[in-house]
Structure 1
Amino acid sequence: MPKAMDLAKELLQTFKNDIEILTFYPSSGGVFEVKANDQLIFSKKQLDRFPEPREILEKIQ
């Protein structure tokens, strides 16, 4: 959960004028996926790792 909260903070700071709602859905088994406009940006489940720093931001930009 701390990594998800750090990511949320970074996304909101970077895209403060573009993000109206940011929603996290808790899951079990360490699943960690990031979607933007219903498009999968990152999947810990598929890659079996957490994203590297700024990896999500770079993929969204």
Structure 2
Amino acid sequence: MPKASSLAASIHQALGIDVDVMVGARGQFDVVADEALVFSKQQEQRFPEADEIIDALRSLPS
């Protein structure tokens, strides 16, 4: 969970958003905002970079 905690801290610092980190299935790493999937490790076959998640969250409709 260190990657998830680090990403959560980056999101909070950049956007002031409180982030919930939840344990999922082994190997699962999804980023979900307002019930929409923003990033899936399974689909992308890699972990996300903080900047790409922050940019994706900024582009979501408010």
> What is the distance in 2 between the residues matched to 1:40 and 1:53?
15
Structure 1 runs of 4+ off > 2 angstroms?
A: none
Please tell me the root mean square deviation across aligned C-alpha atoms, in Å. 1.3
**2-structure distance, mates of 1:60, 1:24:** 16
Unaligned runs of 5+ in 2: none
TM-score by length of 2: 0.80
- Structure-2 residue corresponding to 1:44: 41
Superposed counterparts of 1:25-36, under 5 Å: 25-36=22-33
**Structure 1: stretches of 5+ with no match in the other structure:** none
The amino acid of 1:2's aligned partner reads: P
The number of residues matched between the two structures is 58
Structure scoring higher RCO (CA < 8 A, sep ≥ 6) equals 2
- TM-score, length of structure 1 as denominator length: 0.81
Partner of 1:13: 13
How far apart are residue 28 of structure 1 and its match?
2.7
Structure having the larger proportion of residues in helix: 2
